[in-house]
Each structure stands twice: as C-alpha cells, then as structure tokens.
Amino acid sequence: MLPIGHYLFLSAALFIIGVIGVITRRNVIVILMSIELILNAVNINLVAFSRLYGDVAGQVFALFIIADAAAEAAVGLGIIIAFFRNRETVLADEMDLLKW
C-alpha cells in the first residue's frame, strides 16, 4: 500500500471535480452523475483508511454507501422522468415552477 496521503489526495481531487460538476452544469442528469462521483471519492477515502488500520468496517460502510447511492439514483431519475413528462426539459435553470 502507498502512503495514505496519495489516496487522500486522489479522493479530494475527485470530490472537488464532483462539486464543480454539481454547481456548474445545467443538465440535471449530469448533476446527478457528479453526485455519484462525490460518493465514489468518499468511498476511496473510506477504503484507504480501512486498509491502513486493517479494520474491515470501512469497507462495510463503503458498501452501504454504494447501496444508498443506488437508491438515490433510482429515485432521482424517477423524479427527472416525471418532471420531463410535464415540462419537456432537463435543464436546472428551467425548472423554476416555484419562483415568483
């Protein structure tokens, strides 16, 4: 295993790229995909520490995060499909029904 700093740097870099994706893009599906990237960055962090301490709990937590990400992606995409049926758009800027 390499020094833990390598994995933390990789995880931080992926996290930041994911955050940039979430706050910069207009297409809601790409925003959801960037959220998945953020979750993956967290997973790398957890598994790296699990390897460092020899404790498998980090991997179990990462497993739960993957299950959770699946649930969230399913529900999020369901919402997007429902919205698309009504408004014909997937751009975040145009989803402004609640704006005054």
Partner 1 sequence: MVDKVLFYIFAGLAIASAALMVTRRNAVHSAIFLVTALLATAGIFLQLRAEFLFIVQIILYVGGIMVLFVFVIMLVNLDVALQQIQFARQKWVALIVALALSAQLGLMLWSSEKIPGQGIPVLAAPAASDLPPNSEAVAQSLFGTYLLAFEIASVLLLVAMIGAVVMAKKEK
The smaller minimum CB distance to partner 1, of residues 62 and 99, is found at: 62
Among 20, 18, 19, 29, CA closest to 92: 29
What DSSP character marks residue 88?
A: S
The smaller minimum CB distance to partner 1, of residues 48 and 99, is found at: 48
Euclidean distance between CA atoms 25 and 22, whole angstroms: 6
Task: Kindly state the smallest distance separating residue 43's Cβ from partner 1, in Å.
Answer: 7
The smaller minimum CB distance to partner 1, of residues 29 and 98, is found at: 29
Task: Kindly state the smallest distance separating residue 84's Cβ from partner 1, in Å.
Answer: 5
Task: Kindly state the smallest distance separating residue 54's Cβ from partner 1, in Å.
Answer: 4
Among 40, 41, 42, 58, CA closest to 50: 58
